Every structure is written in C-alpha cells, then in structure tokens.
Amino acid sequence: MLNRIPTHTFNWILIITLAILLFELMFFGGGFIFTALFLGFLIFLGWKNYHTLIGKVLFWIGTVSLALNVLNMYALRFLFLAVIFLFFRHYYKSKKEPDYIKPQFNGETSIESETLTEFSPLLQHKFLGDQKTEETPYQWRDINIHGGIGDRVIDLSNTVIQEDAVISIRHFIGNIKIYVPYEVEVAVLHSSIFGHLSIFQKYEKKLVNQSVAFHTENYLKGKPRVKIVTSVFSGDIEVRRI
C-alpha cells in the first residue's frame, strides 16, 4: 500500500505530524524531552555493554520505557490515524477502480525498455548495532546508508576498486572507520555536531558543529580513487591506510 501513496500526500502527513510534535514538545513536552534523553542514554549505555547482564537490563528497560512514552504522544496517534485512513481509502478505491491488467500475447508489438540489473548493496540501513564489510574478498559496490546507533567499519583492502568509488554514510551516534589501500586516492567530506576526526594518522581535529573537506595530492587526476561523504551527530571518524 505504501508504494501507492503519492509523495505529496506522504510529505503532508509528515509535515503535520512534525507540526503536532513540535507543538506538543513546546507546550507539554518539557518532562518528555528530559525523560527521552535519559532513556536514550540508558539504551546507548546498555547496548555498549550488552554482553553483560546489567547491560541487557539497562537496554531493555530503556527501550520499553521509551516506546511507552512515545506511544502516548499525540503526534504518533495522528500518524496511526492517518495510516489507517489511507488504508481504508486505498481499499475503497481498489474496490471501485480495480487495477486493469492487459495480457500481452506473442506477436503484439511493445515499446522496448532499457534492461536494468538489480544488485544487493554492501551494507543496509541499520538503526541499532555495528556494521562492517566482509572480511573475505568481495566485489565492490558503492555504499549509501544511514544509521542510528553503533559503529560502521568499511575495509577496502578486501576488494578491488577499478576507477571511482563512493562511500556515503549518514549516522546518528557511533564511530566510523574506513580502511583504504595505499594505492587509492582519497577525498573526505565530513560534518559532525560532536566528534573527532583522524585521517591517515597525520591529521587530527576535534569537531564541534563543523564541516571539513580534504583530498590527497593526486585525487583530481589519479585513479583508482574513493570519495567519502559522511555526517554524524556524535561520533568519531577515522580514515586509515592499510
């Protein structure tokens, strides 16, 4: 059903939901913000120490408590009502205007279309947990992901980059580590609210609401090369030669 919702309808639902959320937080949400930050900290602390019993307890207490608090918000209730309305609206329209499928038999001419090949990305979007590329040799495919909490590790020493490669990561909380072979030229475009930057063990910088850009000496004319575009709310980024 979601793939049949027009983009402008979906955007309006999001805008109204955000407006209700802002109104709710401005006038009624002082306690909720403090509680959400505290529970978010418990979840992060529990996830980092999930291998211990206290870590598991903190993680699940924080997760369940945060979920219950979020479910009580008027913005989320509106979103649920909007989804239910769209479901019944789609069901009504499908009954009144059913999809018409015309079979095509041999001999009928058709407009030729381009051939597209679908392939699996190296990494998928993941809100919780660490991610890293395969430790065995793998075929390179450009990376374009966003994440929530956890570390991301990209190791280019186990793959072959023919000419140009792109790594794009948008992340909330956690560290990003990218290992690049010596023969590959590199450009880094990074933005961070709070974190630390380290490139090739030569350049280090503390970032507070900053954007930085670097590239190696021969990046503009040398190949193979990789362009790294990252943004993180709170976390470190490290680019190393390997």
pLDDT tens-place string over residues 86-130: 777 776 766 666 655 555 555 555 555 677 777 778 888 877 778
Q: Where are the domains of the chain?
A: 2-96, 126-241
158-195 pLDDT, tens digit each: 888 888 999 999 988 888 999 999 999 999 999 998 88
Contact predicate 153/145, CB 8 Å: no
Q: Running DSSP on this structure, what letter comes out for residue 95?
A: H
- pTM (2 decimals)? 0.59
Which tokens belong to 162? Answer: 């023919």
d(CA 3, CA 27): 35
Q: Which long-range contacts (CB under 8 A, 24 or more apart) does 161-165 make?
A: 161/224, 161/225, 161/226, 162/224, 163/223, 163/224, 163/225, 164/223, 164/224, 164/225, 164/226, 164/227, 165/140, 165/224, 165/225, 165/226, 165/227
Q: What is the mean pLDDT of the chain?
A: 82
d(CA 135, CA 156): 10
- What pLDDT, on the 0 to 100 scale, is given for residue 73? 81
Confidence class for position 21, pLDDT limits 50, 70, 90: confident
